Structure 1
Amino acid sequence: MTVPVPDRGIDLQVKVTAPRSGQNLPVIVFSHGNAWSLDGYGPLVDRWAAAGFVVVQPTHLDSRRNGLGWDDPRFATIWRVRIADLHAVVDGLDDILGQAGGLETRVDRGRVAVVGHSWGAQTAGALLGARVLDADGVPGEDFSHSAVSAGALIAATGTGDTLTPFAVEHLPFMRPDYSTMTTPALVIAGGKDRSQLSTRGPEWFTDAYHLSPPPKSLLAIAEGEHTLGGLAGEMVAETTDEEPARVALVADAISAYLLDAFELSGTEWRDLGAEATTDDSAWSISSK
């Protein structure tokens, strides 16, 4: 369906996935990675809906379906449009869910989370309180949203002082300041995620945890690469480490964390923590 957004140029399209039954359902607003759209990430979204969440997926301007390349003059400001997209979705939830078969009467507007992967993680992080540093290291505008009370960042951009020349030229906004990201969040990082945008290694993707104030948790998956097993779809071209069980772990960890953060159920998150302590170091959970 379409969400009205003035001066965007291209209509904001969203998709809603929800359980067939249930009341007072929590909501996840999901921000996709670069070039993707509302048609991706089915392996995550389906498991979240099965766990009792209503999931809303917008398609951002950088989606390949819109054909905006690196050299398009609009690309430099897409990071801001992405954030505005999430604000438009959160602010317009009642209308969106009303169009989706009367879901507005079945959700709990007091339990809204933002989740994102890759560029989408930086986008979601802005609504959790993270800012963007300018060339002089000065934090920019506060884009946090008061209706968002928790979140999860998957393969989130690290600090920008080690960006590669390509990233400096095309993605200078990838300089997040996590010191103001106060909203509770789960950070998920892969131990084999090596980005072409940074000269650092996989630890770059843990900055959102280490550099933000508590409460935060970190799920570190030793063998995970950037797609963490195939988040957008196990067999899509971007999947370099196809492993459905890894995708299930990411999906279930996020739903368990959010159920705990929303004070709906702490059982799943406690069980996951207990499993992590007995695992063979394939993955671990840290909290602060």
Structure 2
Amino acid sequence: MTLRSDDSTRRALLKRASLFSLASATAAAGAGLGLSLPARAKDTPPGGTPAGVSPGASKGPAPAAGPTRSQGGSPEVSQGVWRDQTRLRDIPWRLRLPEGDRPVALVVFSHGLGGSLDGGTEWGQAWAEAGIATLHLQHAGSDRAIWREGLQAVKAAASVEQLVDRGHDVQFAVEQLLKRQKDAATPWARVKVDALGMSGHSFGAQTTLAVAGRDYQLRSAPDLSESHFKAFAAFSPSAGHFPGGIKGITRPMLCLTGSLDGNPIGQERDGQYRRVVYDTLPAGAKAMLWLEGADHMSFGGGGEAGAGFAQRLLGRRREGPPEKLAPHHEALIKAVSTDWWRWRLLGDEAAIARLKTLKGLASGDEWLQG
């Protein structure tokens, strides 16, 4: 079914029915989704105002002239706000293009709960240096604006309703990307439309699983999948109480997690429950990087402190190993994820060889392919 009906009343009723059905089937604290849908938080601008975007931009479509642009740097960074008129929803975006004018693969990145366009910045920069562009999206309703109303508002934002909105944000972004790629006079023309990937951290990883084709096994569930992506990478993913639908994901999926990768707003204090995603995925095109001593913040890619805020609000202190081992974790995450994209999106034989005999693992680290 689709939620994109021209009849706004009918669309709202269909969405409500779908959400309640989906919520009953996917509820899990580990997945960050509630058994019932909480009341929507007060409307706020999408994460405040993204850096580099004028305050008025978040209240309407981006100007026809498009993005603000940082010149002279490498990579080239541009950003703006798209307006989905069907849903009356603004979607801030940030495009990071590698230096030069050659065609490039591109990865869409979805931030974690309470995050922003800054989420995954370290990973995006590493990928750009390796010749892979990134398109970071910001999701109103589950972005940094939710911190204004405290921890309860943050927990309420971890809902099925927000997951559905995020999935449609990604679908709309791909539509915009494909449309703009046809214009040779824009930076979008460099994007190889047959070399697109999708990634995200935490709630962004849930978004990634949904877009990859997670089967919610309900006729009324909205279709959040996007067929244009060739491969995926989920940072701190989780399966929830009903992992069976993950078996429907057949395209390549990289999972990245670690021993201290607990749920910042839940009861899970280590990352063992996150291994279920890799274990449940069908054999043939999956991989997992497990890092000993890595916590939830280790996989965020810098730029957003959502997990740290949550831990402090709950009276939890960050343990020592993640900070002590941060350089090791960061280097390995960058190396593995970059080679994953170069393999799966570009068919790079050297990247394939490096991943077959991965070097640099420390005691307790694991690299699995199956």
| TM surpasses 0.5 | yes
The reply to whether residue 212 of structure 1 matches residue 281 of structure 2 is: yes
**Which of 330, 354, 357 does residue 247 from structure 1 map onto?**
330
The alignment's C-alpha RMSD in Å is: 3.1
What's 1:30 paired with? 109
What's 2:343 paired with? 260
The alpha-carbon distance between structure 1 residues 73 and 189, as it changes in their structure 2 partners (threshold 3 A), is closer
Is this contact kept in 2: 1:3–1:88, CA < 8 A? no
1:227 positional shift = 1.7
Deviations 1:116-152 (A, max 9, x none): 1000001011111113467xxx994442211111010
**Which of 260, 278, 294 does residue 192 from structure 1 map onto?**
260
1:264 positional shift = 3.1
What's 2:231 paired with? 150
The reply to whether residue 284 of structure 1 matches residue 353 of structure 2 is: no
What's 1:227 paired with? 297
1:235 positional shift = 8.0
What's 1:14 paired with? 93
**Which of 128, 133, 148 does residue 54 from structure 1 map onto?**
133
What's 2:73 paired with? none
What's 2:204 paired with? 120
Q: Which moved more, 1:115-124 or 1:61-70?
A: 61-70
| Cα distance in 2 between the residues matched to 1:281 and 1:73 | 37
Number of residues paired by the alignment? 271
The alpha-carbon distance between structure 1 residues 246 and 177, as it changes in their structure 2 partners (threshold 3 A), is same
Is this contact kept in 2: 1:230–1:244, CA < 8 A? no
What's 2:42 paired with? none
The reply to whether residue 106 of structure 1 matches residue 190 of structure 2 is: yes
1:22 positional shift = 4.0
Q: Which amino acid aligns with 1:183?
A: R
1:198 positional shift = 5.1
| Cα distance in 2 between the residues matched to 1:7 and 1:70 | 26
1:24 positional shift = 2.3
| Cα distance in 2 between the residues matched to 1:105 and 1:38 | 22
Q: Which amino acid aligns with 1:34?
A: L
Q: Which moved more, 1:220-229 or 1:45-54?
A: 220-229
| Cα distance in 1 between the residues matched to 2:202 and 2:274 | 9
Q: Normalised by the size of structure 1, how large is the TM-score? A: 0.82
Task: Point out the structure with max Rg over C-alpha.
Answer: 2
Is this contact kept in 1: 2:212–2:251, CA < 8 A? yes
The reply to whether residue 88 of structure 1 matches residue 167 of structure 2 is: no
The alpha-carbon distance between structure 1 residues 11 and 184, as it changes in their structure 2 partners (threshold 3 A), is same
1:182 positional shift = 1.0
Deviations 1:166-219 (A, max 9, x none): xxxxxxxxx773111111111111112122435584221122211011310111
The alpha-carbon distance between structure 1 residues 7 and 262, as it changes in their structure 2 partners (threshold 3 A), is closer
State, as a whole percentage, how many aligned pairs show the same letter: 22
Q: Which moved more, 1:262-271 or 1:25-34?
A: 262-271
**Where does the alignment leave 5 or more consecutive residues of structure 1 unmatched?**
162-174
1:153 positional shift = 0.5
1:284 positional shift = 2.0
Q: Which amino acid aligns with 2:198?
A: V
Q: Normalised by the size of structure 2, how large is the TM-score? A: 0.65
What's 1:179 paired with? 247
1:232 positional shift = 2.3
The alpha-carbon distance between structure 1 residues 235 and 208, as it changes in their structure 2 partners (threshold 3 A), is closer
What's 1:172 paired with? none
| Cα distance in 1 between the residues matched to 2:114 and 2:177 | 24
1:98 positional shift = 7.9
Q: Which moved more, 1:117-126 or 1:187-196?
A: 187-196
| Cα distance in 2 between the residues matched to 1:133 and 1:197 | 25
What's 1:164 paired with? none
What's 1:65 paired with? 145
Q: Which amino acid aligns with 1:189?
A: T
1:160 aligns to what SS in structure 2? coil
